[in-house]
Chains A and B, each alone.
Chain A
Amino acid sequence: MKHTLQQIFRSGKFVTGFSIFTALLLIVIFYPLIVRDDPLANIGQGTFFPPGVYVNVYDSINAPPYILNLSDAAAKRVASKLGNQERKDLKEWLVAAGIPEDEIDITDTAKLLDLWEKNYDPTKNIPGMTLARQRYFQRLNASLQGILSVEGITIANPNPQTGALEAVKTVQQADYVNISQVPNVRVLALGTDNFGRDVLTELVKATGVSLQIGIVAGIIATLIGLILGLLGGYVGGTVDDIIMFITNLFIVIPSFVLLILISFSIGQEKRGAFTIAVVIGFTSWVWTARAVRSQVISLRVRDHVNLSKLSGHSIPHIIINDILPYIASYVVMALILQISSGILAEAGLSILGLGPRTTEVPTLGLMMNWAMIYQAQILGKWWAYLPVLVTIALITFSMNLMNTGLDQVFNPALRE
């Protein structure tokens, strides 16, 4: 036993898979202890905020200012609004409006803006330009207002009696705040989703739930497969015929189709994550049962089983002591595969809208489903679906690696 464990941890594939899986597991366990937010709270007003550090503007204004005279500050400010693409766009409009092309120098910011200010007319109709493009130029124009200004911004409050604005303070362009003095800073490493939920927190929770679904489904499937396989293989006769009949029924109906039908007939309201896990488990035991059965059939005629019979052992004793240990490694490997395929099955179901009901917990499949419904992939909001895909891939990849690693170790050991 100890020997086998040593062998397992000497297998590179197993160790790689095991490390990835353990890392995921640790994140799932410890992240909620550190970030105690409700993973389903809609914190963002609006959809799909991009990943980044969010600094509270109100707090920043009220934080003590520090003046830093940095030579490239103005240039950066301009560049953030007027990048290369925007400059080309400006030129495109100006050329279309009839300005000679060689008069426009997009590298000279001041001249370009001057030319733009003089010529741009939002009402001007340029032939061949779509409405969306016209809107874009209107927005661009608005964002360029005051871009070269060196003045600060005055913060004003309305007077409670008269309603007239009264200046409170002025924020200069060279004013900085120290981020540690801003009380409200929120890191949204993976932005927000269509509901305005923090994707990272949601993803961690969803990974945990999906793993639980996979484990429950895997254990159920493996247990059913193991028990039916052992019974059919060892007892044989009519028992085996009945079991094989049921098994073959399940084989001709693809399990995913069955899964869809059962899921659909349960109805949205009754589909909790646990129910889905049980349903997945009950539809995916078939191959385990068949494989266990055929292994048991070849084992039961071996002489060590005959010797055990001659030693007067009961059939349950023989199954547990003389058959089960020989297929244990196989069963462990089947369990690992069942867990990862259970996670995939949940994802598949949820993408079809037949997953767990959406009000309680997120799952990896549900997150994919939401991202799809709100067209994250079309809108280019990669943070809403790519991390989910990567997580699913990492889980199945690490489990398959562990499985191959175990295979390498167990097979020669059995020949001992």
Chain B
Amino acid sequence: MVEENQAILKGVGLTKVFGLGHRKTIAVDHVDVEFREGEVSSIVGESGSGKTTLAKMLLGLINPTEGEIYFQGKRLDLRTYKKKKEYWTNIQAIFQDPYSSYNIFNKIDTLLLDCIRMRGGHRLPHARKVEMMTEACSFVNLKYEELTNKYPFELSGGQMQRLMIARIFLLKPKILVADEPTSMIDACSRATILDMLMKLRDEVGMTIIFITHDIGLAYYVSDSVYIMAHGKIVESGSADDVILHPKAEYTRRLINDVPKIHEAWDLSTVDYSEI
């Protein structure tokens, strides 16, 4: 009962079926998930296990075939666009593919100014807005002066994902869904991105739902872990429990696939100045 109250976001019996008849895919199959305020929870699973689909349902971007979502203890009603918009002031996302996350016709300033507007800052003087954008960019080690008037396709994948984090920094949502934010970029940038996400959690006090196919990464960042396979949750619990004492056969297989899990993520050896 006590734990129940702490859950900021909860999904009960979430199911998504794509297509009809022979071409029916059950992407997510009666999944129960629960995310506690201020924690980082990971959803781990192989490609095609339904992680993105689950995340989009939690975000209210696709409607579940079945099941309910509870936000701050109240059942979410997302039947109208107006209600969705209200929900989206609380929850934000970083998507898997940075290249398709941007509107290629909008300048980077447009994206960042949208965030300031959403936080009610559209009446602020322009100088203050620039100040805020500069702060957000420097949070992710980018220089606003170099980005202003640029288009997204002029950035690298890593820069794009960092800019997405800058966006979250400006929006300061209660919940962040990070869908494999590092899967499209190299290992060094990956460490930086993770580090920035953790910094966000610490400074803003955000609840983070971290989606990954890499169980080692999940262990490194999260408080609790959900293991997902073929649309179902096969195991869940605290990160230590699940990874150090796995019960499900599938989890053990995932862990064995990662070589030397305990040493691999020693970030102290990474030289940030080179990133």
Interface string of A298-311 (1 = CB under 8 A from B): 00001110111111
A312 to B84, CA, bound (A): 9
The interface stretch among B65-73, B91-99, B133-141, B243-251 is B91-99
Contact A306 B93 (CB under 8 A): yes
Q: Which of B59, B61, B114 contacts A311 (CB 8 A)?
A: B114
Contact B101 A304 (CB under 8 A): yes
Q: Is A416 an interface residue (CB 8 A)?
A: yes
Q: Which residues of B lie under 8 Å from residue A312 when comparing CB positions?
A: 85, 88-89, 114, 117-118
State how many angstroms separate the Cβ of A139 from the closest Cβ of chain B.
Answer: 74
Q: Which of B85, B105, B111 contacts A325 (CB 8 A)?
A: B105
Smallest Cβ-Cβ distance to A308: which chain B residue: B103
Q: Is A193 an interface residue (CB 8 A)?
A: no
Contact A304 B100 (CB under 8 A): yes
State how many angstroms separate the Cβ of B118 from the closest Cβ of chain A.
Answer: 5
Interface size on A, residues (CB 8 A): 18
Contact A310 B92 (CB under 8 A): yes
Q: Is B102 an interface residue (CB 8 A)?
A: yes
Q: Which residues of B lie under 8 Å from residue A310 when comparing CB positions?
A: 59, 61, 88, 91-93
Q: Which of A313-328 contact B (CB under 8 A)?
A: 313-315, 321-322, 325-326
Q: Which residues of A lie under 8 Å from residue B111 when comparing CB positions?
A: 311
Q: Which residues of B lie under 8 Å from residue A307 when comparing CB positions?
A: 93, 95, 101-103
Known: A303-B95, A303-B97, A416-B153. A309 touches B103 (CB 8 A): no
Chain B, interface size: which category?
20 to 34
A307 to B115, CA, bound (A): 11
Q: Is B104 an interface residue (CB 8 A)?
A: yes
Smallest Cβ-Cβ distance to A305: which chain B residue: B103
Q: Is B6 an interface residue (CB 8 A)?
A: no
Q: Which residues of A lie under 8 Å from residue B88 when comparing CB positions?
A: 309-312
Q: Which of A304, A306, A315, A325 contacts B81 (CB 8 A)?
A: A315
Smallest Cβ-Cβ distance to A304: which chain B residue: B103
A171 to B189, CA, bound (A): 100
Interface string of A172-195 (1 = CB under 8 A from B): 000000000000000000000000
Contact B100 A311 (CB under 8 A): no
State how many angstroms separate the Cβ of B119 from the closest Cβ of chain A.
Answer: 10
Contact A311 B95 (CB under 8 A): no
A312 to B61, CA, bound (A): 12
State how many angstroms separate the Cβ of B28 from the closest Cβ of chain A.
Answer: 16
Contact A304 B102 (CB under 8 A): yes
A303 to B93, CA, bound (A): 10
Smallest Cβ-Cβ distance to A315: which chain B residue: B81
Known: A302-B100, A325-B105. A311 touches B115 (CB 8 A): yes
Contact B101 A303 (CB under 8 A): yes
A321 to B85, CA, bound (A): 17
Contact A303 B81 (CB under 8 A): no
Smallest Cβ-Cβ distance to B154: which chain A residue: A416
Q: Is B106 an interface residue (CB 8 A)?
A: yes
26 A-B residue pairings within 8 Å (CB atoms): A302-B100, A304-B103, A304-B104, A306-B56, A306-B95, A307-B93, A307-B95, A307-B101, A307-B102, A307-B103, A308-B103, A309-B84, A310-B61, A310-B88, A310-B92, A311-B114, A311-B115, A312-B85, A312-B88, A312-B117, A313-B114, A314-B81, A315-B81, A325-B105, A416-B104, A416-B153
Residues of chain B touching chain A, judged by Cβ–Cβ distance below 8 Å, are: 56, 59, 61, 81, 84-85, 88-89, 91-93, 95-97, 100-106, 111, 114-115, 117-118, 153
Q: A309-B88, A314-B81, A325-B105 are in contact. List 8 more A-B contacts (CB 8 A).
A: A303-B100, A304-B103, A304-B104, A306-B59, A306-B93, A309-B61, A312-B89, A416-B153
Residues of chain A touching chain B, judged by Cβ–Cβ distance below 8 Å, are: 302-304, 306-315, 321-322, 325-326, 416
What 5 A-B pairs have minimum CB-CB distances, sorted nearest first? A325-B105, A303-B95, A311-B114, A303-B101, A304-B103
